[in-house]
Structure formats: C-alpha cells, structure tokens
Amino acid sequence: MHSRNAAARLRAELVPCLCLLVLAVAGCSPERYPQTALLPLSDFARIGDHVQDQTFYWALGVFVLVEGALLYAIFRFRGRPDDPEPRQIHGNTLVEIIWTVIPALILAAIAVPTVKGIFQVNGTPEGNLLEVEVVGHQWWWEFRYPQYGIVTANELVIPAGRTVHFKENSVDVIHSWWPPRFAGKRDVFPGRETRIWFKADSTGLYPGQCAEFCGIQHARMAFHVRSETPEAFEAWAAHMQTLGAPKPAAAPAPAGTDSLRTASSGANVQQESQADPLFAQGETLFRNKGCIGCHSLQAKGAPTALIGPNLANVGSRAYIAAGWLKNTDENLEAWIQNPQALKKGVLMPNLGVKPDEAKALRAYLRAHK
C-alpha cells in the first residue's frame, strides 16, 4: 500500500518534470527569439549579461542544493501516525550561524560584480560619440541626430563599432526605451532627461519596444534598431540630410500651390516617381486629408513637436505603425484607410480615405525613401 502510493506519487512528479524539461529545451535556444535579452550584441548589454550569468549560476547552485535537501527531507523523514514521537529539537545555534553566514558570503560574491557593473553602466562614455535623442510619444519613437541635424522615427539607424550616446525624454507620459539585444531599459520621462549608451558589435535589424505601460497601445509601441557599417551609416546620414525643404531656386513652386506643398516633399524623390500620376494624386491627398498636420516629410530641419512620426524615409523602413506592421503595400494602404482598426486608440484618426486614394497615398509615401 505504502510503496504503491510512493510509486503513484513519483509518477505524478515525473509528469511536470518532463514538461519542464521540454520547456527548458524550447526556452534555452535564444536564437529563436529575435528580441531576446540573452544574446547581447553590445558592450553595454554584455555588462548586464555577465552579471546576470554569474548571479544565475549562484542561484542555480543554491537551487539544486536547497531543493535537493528539501526533497531528501520529504522522503527521508516520512512518518506514520503510530510512529513514536521524534526527538524534540528546538534549534541549534551553530547550525543556525552557519546557514546565516554562508548565504551572506554568497551574496557578497554576487555583490562585487554587481557594484562593478553598476558603475560601468552608469559611466559616461568618451571618444567619438554619436549623439542621439530618443523622444517617446504615445505610441511611437522619435530619433533625433543633433550632430547631423536629422530626424527619423521608429527605425533607429546606428553605426556598428561606434559608441552611441542616447539622451532620452518624453513629450507625454513615461515610456521605457528597450532594445534588448543592445541594452537594458531606460525610462523616458516628460520633463526629465535620462541617458544610456552602447556600442553595437554587429550589423543587422533588431527589434525593441516600449517597456513601461503608457496607455492603450503600449503593446504596439515598438521600434527597430538598424545597425550598419560605419560607411553605410554615413551614407545614410548624408542621404537623410538631403531630405530637407527643396531650395526655392532649384524647384520653384508651381503657380497655385501653397507653401505646404513644398514643405512636404523631399528633394530625394526620384524623377520617375514624380512622373507617376499616382504620386501627384497622393501628394495632393497628403495635403488635403490633413496628413501634413501631424507628419513631416523632411528629415532635415523638420519641425519638432509634431503628433505623428516623421515620414521622410518611410518608404525604406522595414515596418510601419511603430515597428510591428511590415511595410508592405497592402499593410500601408490598410493602415492609411483604417488605422483605428489596426491599432485601436492610436492618435491617428480614420480620415475617410477611400481605397483608390489609399493607393495614391501609398505610392506617394513609398517614394519617400
């Protein structure tokens, strides 16, 4: 009777153990997770990862020992109701001192790399820094490059191998900027500047997202970090610098158009695009539907404090709608027609754009690369 119970109990314990094993295998292959914090790609992220690893191994050791001792006690000291009363022990000073001191020593071993790490991540980077201002908006990210005088949104472009120094603030509520492959979170406050820095090791496109609850669309406030070679980054920045207001002398405004039109179009838009009738229709719609009230199409000299993301290079971004909707023609058109269906509560209202109008607007925006 007794042993059958034990066998049943063992079986019952095996099932969750197996489940956990499967889980551990599934969970421990970080390559499957593009947003994982366990595969650091920068000096900053490695500081935290190193401390976390050390803490984890201590924790794992303690876990195995203590849970092991507990399991031993569970089975070893199993009693029956008619067993004699066990020896009545009230405590043991020596043992109690030992199990107070040993955890204290383990914690000291964790505290040393922790404090070292604290001072490292709080250090001010030096050298040839790229300065970037991160501005949180409900529910998208603005990135300003004061050294280049350019602005972009939702897709941060950085050079690998060069330390980027971020100054962060918010125009509305608290957000938290989190590119897990490159750095931990740094909260973004209205009326208070916070800072973080990192130097990316490698190139590629990596996701990140807001980590502080900031209202109805907190979940859809993502972004991407596009890490480029230094040369590609400089080329990109130079290209962005051309996306300013066209020089009046070079492109005099046609009669009958107001100044808004020239403010909206960037100099990079290619000639063949401009020849597309859809492009011209889109340009008119962009003005008439009021898009221009919230979105700028200039990367250089763009007005700040706009409600919507800067669209100067929207045509070349991988994602739209703050980093979660792939930038395909269908998605872009669907978004333009009915943003409230895709991202309920987003500050962009449904503007009554018809399908053919959405096509024109899509063509117009697609030309802004």
Partner 1 sequence: MATTVLDQQRAHAGAHAQKTGLWSWLTTVDHKRIGILYGTTAFFFFLLGGLEALLIRIQLARADNNFLSPETYNQLFTMHGTSMIFLAIMPLSAMFFNFMIPLMIGARDVAFPRLNAFSYWVFLLGGLFLNASFLFGAAPDQGWYGYANLTSRQFSPGHNVDFWNMGLQILGVASLAAGVNFFVTVINMRTRGMTMMRMPMFVWMSFITQILILLAFPVITVALILLIFDRFFGTHFFVPAGGGDPLLWQHFFWVFGHPEVYILVLPAFGIISEILPVFSRKPLFGYAAMVFSGAFIAFLGFGVWSHHMFTTGMGPIADTFFSLTTMLIAIPTGVKIFNWMGTMWGGSIQYRTPMYFAVAFIAMFIIGGLSGVMHASPPADLQQNDTYFIVAHFHYVLFGGSIFALTAGAYYWWPKMFGRLLDEKLGKVHFWLMLIGFNLTFFPMHLVGLHGMPRRTYTYPKELNFESLNQLETLGSFILGLGFLVFLFNILKTTRGPRNAPADPWNGATLEWAIPSPPPEWNFAETPVVHGRDPLWELKRQRGGRLPEPSPGTGAGIHIPPPSYWPLVSAIGVTGIFVALMMSPKWGPWGIIVAISLTFFGIYNWLFEKGYSEFTTPQGGGHH
208-267 binders of partner 1 (CB under 8 A): 209-220, 222
When asked if residue 70 is in the footprint of partner 1 (CB under 8 A), the reply is: yes
Q: Which is nearer to partner 1, 134 or 240 (CB)?
A: 134
Applying CB under 8 A, does 74 fall inside the site for partner 1? yes
Q: Hey, how many other C-beta atoms are within 10 angstroms of the C-beta on 49?
A: 17
* Span of 194-202, 244-252, 258-266, 299-307 interacting with partner 1 by CB under 8 A: 194-202
Among 87, 126, 250, 271, binds partner 1 (CB under 8 A): 87
Query: Contact between 107 and partner 1 (CB under 8 A)?
Result: yes
What Rg do the C-alpha atoms of the chain give, in angstroms?
29
Give least dist CB 276 to partner 1, A: 31
177/185 Cα distance (integer angstroms): 6
Number of residues interacting with partner 1: please give it, by CB under 8 A: 104
DSSP strand pairing (186-188 vs 204-210): unpaired
The answer to whether the bond into 324 is cis (omega within 30° of 0) is no
Smallest distance, Å, CB 258 to partner 1? 33
Asked if 173 contacts 200 with a C-beta cutoff of 8 angstroms, the reply is no
With the CA atoms of 278, 281, 282 and 283 taken in that order, what torsion angle do they form, in degrees rounded to the nearest 10?
130
The nearer residue to partner 1, 106 or 267, going by C-beta atoms, is 106
Q: Compute the distance between CA of residue 222 and CA of residue 260 in angstroms, rounded to an integer.
A: 30
Q: Which of 10, 14, 21, 118 binds partner 1 (CB under 8 A)?
A: 118
Nearer residue to partner 1 within complex by CB, 74 or 251: 74
| CA distances to 58, 96, 106 from 101, in Å | 15, 9, 9
57 binds partner 1, rule: CB under 8 A: no
Shortest separation between residue 234's beta carbon and partner 1, angstroms: 30
Query: What is the C-alpha to C-alpha distance for residues 7 and 366, in angstroms, rounded to an integer?
Result: 66
Site for partner 1 in 264-303 (CB under 8 A): none
Among 1, 3, 77, 126, binds partner 1 (CB under 8 A): 77
Query: Which residue in the set 3, 16, 249, 271 belongs to the binding site for partner 1 (CB under 8 A)?
Result: 16
Least distance (Å) between residue 257 CB and partner 1: 37
Query: Which one, of 320, 327, 365, 369, lies nearest residue 346 by Cα?
Result: 320
Pick between residue 49 and residue 276 the one whose CB is nearest to partner 1. 49
Which residue matches tokens 């998605």?
A: 331
DSSP, collapsed to helix, strand or coil, labels residue 300 as strand
